[in-house]
Homo-oligomer: A and B are copies of this chain.
Amino acid sequence: MAGLSEGNNLDPWYGHYAARTTGLSASEVRALFAVASRPEVVSLAGGMPFVSALPTELVTSAIDRLMRERGPVALQYGSGQGAPELREQILDVMALEGIRGSVDDVVVTTGSQHALELIAKLFLDPGDVVLAEGPSYVTALVVFRSFQAEVSHVPMDEHGLIPAALRERIAALKAAGKRLKLLYTVPTFNNPAGVTLSWERRLELLEIARENDILVLEDNPYGLLYFDGPPPHAMRSVEKDGVVYLGTFSKTLAPGFRVGWALAPHAIREKLILANEAAVLSPSSFTQLVISEYLSSADWRAQIDTFRGVYRERRDAMLSALAEYLPKLSWTIPNGGFYVWLNLPEQVDAKSMLPRAVKQLVAYTPGTAFYADGNGRNNIRLSFCYPTPEFIREGIRRLSSVITGELELLDTFSQTGPLTRITAERNVTSPPPNLG
């Protein structure tokens, strides 16, 4: 990541930016991802849901009815809290994960990303600490940094964030005089790690947060997309006052609508509404009411089943391709969601390998993107949400060739000195097979 508010003699406004812009940074791999979006590249990098699994007809019929019956309402400004009918329906969605909330405490936002931004704006002063899993969701890290907070990562294992490590970290940070504000967690089908926090640990984390007066920010975009049986209930299902819960329609319906929500303790949701109004006046009435119509007329639970089936098949394709092509490496086994977290050989740097991977027509996200502290050098996040099973298989095959090449390269390097461009490019593959 490179700070963008560094000197730039082409910018006449250099020197005018707020101090917080030093935390606002462009990803170094952004340019590379532009290349990676070419159709011949198998991208295991993004987090785009496979929206083609949603029958267009379900959306268009909802819109037709909406415009016929409530056109002027859909086209008008709405409430800063969100449409009441949608907030009622959101309670039904959350009930699937054991949450019982009041319609008064739901605040609809422009995707759950905007709820994250608003909570950060409400709580974070410069120097405040946010505790987060290591690794953690990349754009949450960007948001926290943009309000000049520090992120302190707590290690995870296959059962999610480790409570003992959390206790230790809190004690150390408090001893250092830090102000701890939030515990940010993606407990279910974690992005990027793919693991799920066990029920026992959920209870333990809530207790630790209560003891230490830390607000839990439970971000749950993937919870309904389980493959092997339902995950543990949401943390919010057992703790009301200490948790802000974030949900979204981006993964169970479509991200193009930009509709998510926060379920917040009463006092917090008052401020959240004010912050939402300041930021956007009101979330889009149109997209909220389209979703409300969809939820009231379509079999949305069956549609989520359809998505589950699509992603389960892709998860399976990825796991079996990994077992076949990269048998010596290790990775997480997700029971839902979009991601597998892959451990590379220690000597391989995922970020420096990426240009060579793109050259070999496969893309991924380097692990360092998911840490605020430079960790993740030997990890990559693999997404199985968007490519077809055949493409996933081909992508992993290419990746294995990239990693093999990288190991040979390192070998050459250790024998002959600095890499040459020729060496770096010797593994370029022939044009990809037609996998369409």
Beta-carbon nearest neighbor of A149 in chain B: B18
Indicate if the CB atoms of B67 and A59 lie closer than 8 Å: yes
In the complex, which residues of chain B have a beta carbon less than 8 angstroms from the beta carbon of A286? Answer: 254, 256-258, 287
A77 at the interface (CB under 8 A from B): yes
Q: Are B254 and A125 in contact (CB under 8 A)?
A: no
Q: Does A408 contact B (CB under 8 A)?
A: no
With A18-B121, A267-B8 as given contacts, are A51 and B76 in contact (CB-CB < 8 Å)? Answer: yes
- Which residues of chain B are within 8 angstroms of A102 by Cβ–Cβ distance? none
- Contact A284:B281 (CB < 8 A) given known A146-B121, A271-B17: no
Prevailing SS type, chain A contact patch: helix
Q: Which residue of B24, B52, B242 is within 8 Å of A278 (Cβ)?
A: B24
Partner of A256, one of B74, B110, B122, B128: B74
Of all chain B residues, the one with the shortest Cβ separation from A118 is: B279
In A88-138, the 8 Å CB interface with B consists of 110-111, 113-114, 117, 121-125, 128
Which residues of chain B have C-beta atoms less than 8 A from A121's C-beta? 18, 20, 146
Number of this chain's copies in the assembly equals 2
Closest 8 A/B residue pairs (Cβ): A11-B267, A75-B254, A256-B285, A51-B75, A75-B256, A258-B284, A256-B286, A56-B71
State the CA gap A193–B129 with chains docked (Å): 44
Interface residues of A in 258-284 (CB under 8 A from B): 258, 265-268, 270-271, 274-275, 277-284
Q: Is A78 an interface residue (CB 8 A)?
A: yes
Kindly provide the distance from the CB of A298 to the nearest chain B CB, expressed in whole angstroms. 14
Say whether B281 contacts A76, CB under 8 Å. Answer: no
The reply to whether the CB of A399 lies closer than 8 angstroms to some CB of chain B is no
| Chain B residue with Cβ nearest A11 | B267
Q: Which residues of A contact B (CB under 8 A)?
A: 4-5, 8, 10-14, 16-21, 24-26, 48-49, 51-52, 54, 56, 59-60, 63-64, 67-68, 71-78, 110-111, 113-114, 117, 121-125, 128, 139, 142-143, 146-147, 181, 213, 215, 241-242, 250, 254-258, 265-268, 270-271, 274-275, 277-287
Cβ contacts under 8 Å, A283 to chain B: 110, 258
Cα–Cα, bound, A75→B53 (Å):
11
